[in-house]
Amino acid sequence: MKIRWLLPFSILFPLLSTSLSGQTKRALIFAIGNYPDDSGWVAISSARDDSLVQKALRDQQFTDIRVVRDKGATIAGIKNALNDLVNRSAVGDVVVIHFSSHGEQVEDLDGNKPDGLEESIVSYEAKQPPYGTEPTREEVLKLRQGYFLDNVFGTYVDKLRAKLGKNGDVAIFLDLCYAGTGTRGTARVRGGKAPLVSRGFYSRKHAITADNKQVLTLLNESNMASYVVIGAARANESDNETYDDTRHSIGPLSYAITKVFANLEPGMTYRTLFAKIQSVMNSKLPDQHPVLSGNGQDRTLFGGSFIAQKPYILIDKIKGNDLTLAGGKFAGLDIGAKIAVYPAGTNSPMGIKPLTTGTVTKAELYTAGVHLDSDPGLKEAALGWVFITQQAFKTEMLNVSIANNIATVSRGKEPASAFSPNELLRLQKALKSLPSVKLSDRPDINIARGKNNSVDSIIISSTGAAFDTIANASKDTARLKNKIKTYIRYCFLKDLNVNDPDADLEVKLLPVVNGNPDTNYVHLSDTSFTAGDKMVIWVNNKSGKNLYVNILDMQPDGIINAILPNNSARIFADDLLVPAGASFAFTKYVITLAPPCGKEIFKIFASTDRIDLESIANSNGAGRRGNLKPFERLVQQSFNSRSTTDQNIGTADGSSYNLYFDIKPKQ
């Protein structure tokens, strides 16, 4: 949902970041997931969103949390809850409003929206018109009474901001979608319906004229709380449900909140919070784009009043010297990783003796088994927290299927788009020779024969997108194996996320306009550019330590390029030290974005040690021998064709994360 009613005034007044000791942290959660059978809206997992978001807020000492669920979330119920929130709030309070529901675009009957559509929240009483019908204008007018429109929501937020005053904070999270154009896969969608419009809508012009132009009253915001809005998807996108760490369905924004709130850092701003949420969501749903708006983006989170928490893992089960953890390979807890157990509630393990230590002996994506060196003396799992002392990373087995090897024979002939039995045997033999690959009917990638014997493709199962093509996979099996190794390396590096709060480095791309970097992009969340755009890299060291930065470019087709350091641009590893608290742009190194188009990833490495990944990337792992730093060893190992890496990395070495952006074709 684009909460646009306040955006024109977002730069008129300076913001204060004073934290008031007497402030109260309040939250209002709307969880609408079980819609009536005749509504036309399918059930979604809002109840799970509610429980996990509540826990995340309580951990941040939110003491006044109210929840409005399902039947209570009619239009009247939503308005009453918002009025009650305004009435009980006080000057200087911090307020979070969270919606988990469906989202919809409805026809703007006042004629003051350029596209003729208004964004809305789907209340419990909202109904869709009967399938296949085109409602009249009068029917749309009646139906839209069950949709909570964004401009109506805005009036309540204005009242709340005025009540809180200039030292208050408002953060709004919207885990819903905006009637996007469709999705891939089978995940439940939080909206995704066609806009609610009357017959003939698409043949009419929707232009704002002098007669229907909306008149906005300029607000005096000097005594109003700042605000931010974080939405789960762009205005033209669907919000797809994902899975939490226990494989239960959950809204992706709600999931990201629970992960990021557990690892808040001193001095974090709402913009930084969004960047971390964006990273978590991109790891789950790379084709979905969360959005950030509002005038409080650079304000310190919760007015500066939040709990700085070092990353920890929850204990799921405990029995003597054995633990099961609610975190696995995705968190760097592969076999061989080292952990330490502390009492629950420990903010930082620094300088504190652990209850015991242990080693990971069994690992799945989201769970891990640990054998402890001694009994920690915990009577319940909830009484202990686990901190990682040494992460371990291994490449995953890649499940591969030959997509059309079950084609039926028609009139004694194999269909033209299917592999022949002999071709199938050659492919199976080639795939079985790779120690990292397993033939499976639940594949990560599919090898698909091109139609009418055209080029064959490697298809990513989760998205349906083509990773790469091969002229004839069954004949050129050597090339096929190399491309699969490339995909394994790509996945390993993409999923390599090391979180060291003491190595907090922010990286952004700034467009070059008239020969100069556009510094406005430092304050924007837009990550969509066009092929041919010229960019420079901007870095901001937000930690208290000097950090070295390295950047690898990961193209959609699996090619990995070194960005920083870059000897051809005469930017060497020694030049990449970013002093503590410093920010600057590499203005002499101008990057021109080029195809292939799609989602690009800059893999950012920040380390207290000097690192040099350029020769490793440019030589496909052959470069840089000798005493390599942990990050260098991890990247080099990703080029190895063995089934697993053997490399562990200490958690204090540095951080690695993904910077996602889109490259669109030039019009």
Q: Is residue 508, in this structure, part of any structural domain at all?
A: yes
Read off the pLDDT band of 181 (50, 70, 90): very low
Q: Is the pLDDT of residue 71 over 50?
A: yes
pLDDT for 188 equals 58
pLDDT in tens, 533-582: 999 999 999 888 899 999 999 988 778 889 999 888 888 998 999 998 89
pLDDT for 414 equals 46
Read off the pLDDT band of 626 (50, 70, 90): low
Q: Is residue 18, in this structure, part of any structural domain at all?
A: no
The domain boundary, picked from 472, 493, 514, lies at 493
pLDDT for 262 equals 85
Distance CA 343, CA 354 (A): 8
Q: Is the pLDDT of residue 10 over 50?
A: no
pLDDT in tens, 224-241: 998 999 999 877 778 888
> In 3D, which of 542, 511, 538, 541 has the Cα closest to residue 527?
511
H/E element holding 618?
helix 614-618
Report, as an integer, the average pLDDT of 501-528: 83
Read off the pLDDT band of 146 (50, 70, 90): very high
pLDDT for 8 equals 25
Share of residues in the chain with pLDDT > 70 (%): 83
The DSSP bridge partners found for residue 534 are 592
> In 3D, which of 10, 660, 654, 554 has the Cα closest to residue 332?
654
Q: Is the pLDDT of residue 90 over 90?
A: yes
pLDDT for 413 equals 45
pLDDT in tens, 374-392: 999 988 887 888 999 888 8
The domain boundary, picked from 431, 464, 493, lies at 493
For residue 474, the SS3 value is coil
The domain boundary, picked from 366, 392, 418, lies at 392
pLDDT in tens, 195-231: 888 877 777 765 544 444 444 444 567 789 989 999 9
Q: Is residue 198, in this structure, part of any structural domain at all?
A: yes
Q: Is the pLDDT of residue 658 over 50?
A: yes
Distance CA 621, CA 634 (A): 10
pLDDT for 272 equals 76
Q: Is the pLDDT of residue 123 over 90?
A: yes
Least confident of 248-257, 478-487, 555-564, 639-648: 639-648
Considering the domain architecture, whether residues 326 and 292 belong to the same structural domain is answered as: no
What CATH number is attached to the domain comprising 623? 2.60.40.2550
Is the pTM of the predicted complex or chain greater than 0.75? no
pLDDT in tens, 97-117: 999 999 888 887 766 666 678
Considering the domain architecture, whether residues 553 and 512 belong to the same structural domain is answered as: yes
Q: What is the DSSP string of 91-111?
A: TT-EEEEEEES-EEEEE-TTS
Considering the domain architecture, whether residues 488 and 514 belong to the same structural domain is answered as: no
Considering the domain architecture, whether residues 102 and 34 belong to the same structural domain is answered as: yes
Least confident of 132-136, 164-168, 590-594: 132-136
pLDDT in tens, 147-164: 999 889 989 999 999 999
Considering the domain architecture, whether residues 64 and 116 belong to the same structural domain is answered as: yes
Instruction: Dig out the tokens for 562 from the structure.
Output: 């070194």
Report, as an integer, the average pLDDT of 166-179: 84
Q: Is residue 202, in this structure, part of any structural domain at all?
A: yes
> In 3D, which of 145, 142, 124, 141 has the Cα closest to residue 38?
124
Considering the domain architecture, whether residues 474 and 599 belong to the same structural domain is answered as: no
Report, as an integer, the average pLDDT of 242-257: 88
Q: How many domains does the chain have?
A: 4
Considering the domain architecture, whether residues 465 and 386 belong to the same structural domain is answered as: no
> In 3D, which of 229, 329, 250, 278 has the Cα closest to residue 10?
229
| Cα 164 off chain centre by | 30
pLDDT in tens, 397-453: 889 999 764 443 333 444 446 788 898 999 999 999 988 899 988 888 899 888 766
What does the H/E/C string look like for 391-422? EECCCCCEEEEECCCCCCCECCECCCCCCCHH
Q: Assess contact for 226 and 294: CB atoms under 8 A.
A: yes
Phi, psi (deg, nearest 5) at residue 576: -105, 25
Q: Average pLDDT of the chain?
A: 81
Q: Find the distance separating the first CA and the last CA of the chain, reported in whole Å.
A: 27
Considering the domain architecture, whether residues 39 and 120 belong to the same structural domain is answered as: yes
Q: Is residue 49, in this structure, part of any structural domain at all?
A: yes
pLDDT for 551 equals 95
Q: Is residue 1, in this structure, part of any structural domain at all?
A: no
Considering the domain architecture, whether residues 330 and 458 belong to the same structural domain is answered as: no
Q: Which domain holds residue 296?
A: 7-13+23-304
pLDDT in tens, 603-623: 999 998 898 888 888 776 666
Considering the domain architecture, whether residues 145 and 249 belong to the same structural domain is answered as: yes
pLDDT in tens, 264-273: 877 778 877 8
Considering the domain architecture, whether residues 469 and 603 belong to the same structural domain is answered as: no
Considering the domain architecture, whether residues 80 and 138 belong to the same structural domain is answered as: yes
**To which residue do tokens 């969270």 refer?**
98
Report, as an integer, the average pLDDT of 581-590: 90
Largest CA distance in the chain: 82
Report, as an integer, the average pLDDT of 245-262: 89
Q: Is residue 386, in this structure, part of any structural domain at all?
A: yes
Report, as an integer, the average pLDDT of 322-329: 88
pLDDT for 524 equals 67
Share of residues in the chain with pLDDT > 90 (%): 33
Distance CA 646, CA 640 (A): 11
Q: Is residue 359, in this structure, part of any structural domain at all?
A: yes
What CATH number is attached to the domain comprising 155? 3.40.50.1460
What percent helix, strand, coil does the chain show, rounded to 5? 25, 30, 45
| Cα 376 off chain centre by | 35
